[in-house]
Amino acid sequence: MVHFIPSNGSKRTQRFAWLMIGFVLFGVAVFPGCDSSSSTRTTAKEATSGDYEILVTITQPVDNSRLILGEDHPPVTLRAEATGGVEDTYGWTWVVEGGGHAARSFAGESDGDAEIEFEHSGLYTITVIVKDRNGITGRDSIHVEIKMTEVIAEEAAP
C-alpha cells in the first residue's frame, strides 16, 4: 500500500495535507483549461461576429468646426469610417441635434456618407451610429457651428 501522508505525522499535518490535495483537485475540476492563451473576451468575440466592438470616427466635418453657408449652399457632406464587427453589413444612422430645432435622424449610404441641408444658424451635435447584422453598435459624435449668411447682390453700375 502506498502512503501519501506519513503515518508518523501529527493529525493536524495530515488534515492540512488532505485539505491541500482537495483544493488542488477541486481547482483542476472547476478550471480544467485555464491558461494565459484563452480568455472570455476572445470567446465573446467569436460568439458575436468575429469582433466585439465597432470603432467609429466621423472624418468630415471636423469636430468643433465652423461652417459658413450662403443662401443657396449645397448640402453638407457627412463622412465617417468604421472598423470591427461584420464590416460588409453595416447600417449607418446619422442624428443631428441643435440649432433650436428637434433632433432629426436619417440613414446614411452603405459607405457611411450622408448629406444634410442646414437651414438655421446654431450649434449642432452630429452623431453617427453604426450597427452590424449581429447587433453590435459603435458611435461617434462631433460638434459644429453653422453660420448662415445672406448673399449680398451687387448692383450693376449705371
| Secondary structure E strands in 39-156 | 54-60, 65-69, 76-84, 91-98, 101-107, 114-116, 122-131, 137-148
Domain spans of the chain?
A: 51-148
Q: How high is the pLDDT of residue 59?
A: 93
Given this model, what pLDDT does residue 153 score?
57
Number of C-alpha atoms within 13 angstroms, CB side, residue 111?
A: 6
The predicted pLDDT at position 149 comes to: 87
Q: Write down the H helix ranges in 1-99.
A: 11-30, 40-48
Look at residues 102, 99, 103, 111 and name the one whose alpha carbon lies nearest to residue 144: 99
- Model-level pTM? 0.62
Residue 142 has pLDDT above 90, yes or no: yes
What pLDDT, on a 0 to 100 scale, did the predictor assign at position 56?
Answer: 93
- 7: amino acid identity, one letter: S
From 148, 131, 140, 147, select the one nearest 63 (Cα to Cα).
Answer: 140
Phi-psi region of 19 (alpha: psi -120 to 50; beta: other; left: phi over 0): alpha
Looking at residue 1, the DSSP 8-state letter turns out to be -
Model pLDDT, residue 99? 87
Residue 126 has pLDDT above 50, yes or no: yes
Question: Cell numbers at residue 67, please?
Answer: 461652417
More reliable by pLDDT, 14 or 130:
130
pLDDT mean over 126-135: 93
What pLDDT, on a 0 to 100 scale, did the predictor assign at position 158?
56
Under CATH, which architecture does the 51-148 domain have? Sandwich (2.60)
pLDDT digits (tens, 9 = 90+) for 7-45: 555 677 667 667 667 666 655 555 554 444 433 323 333
User: What is the per-residue pLDDT across 47-97, written as a single tens digit (0 to 9) for each?
Assistant: 444 557 899 999 999 999 999 998 888 899 999 999 998 888 899 999 999
Assigned C-alpha cell, 130: 453604426
Say yes or no to pLDDT of 110 above 80.
yes
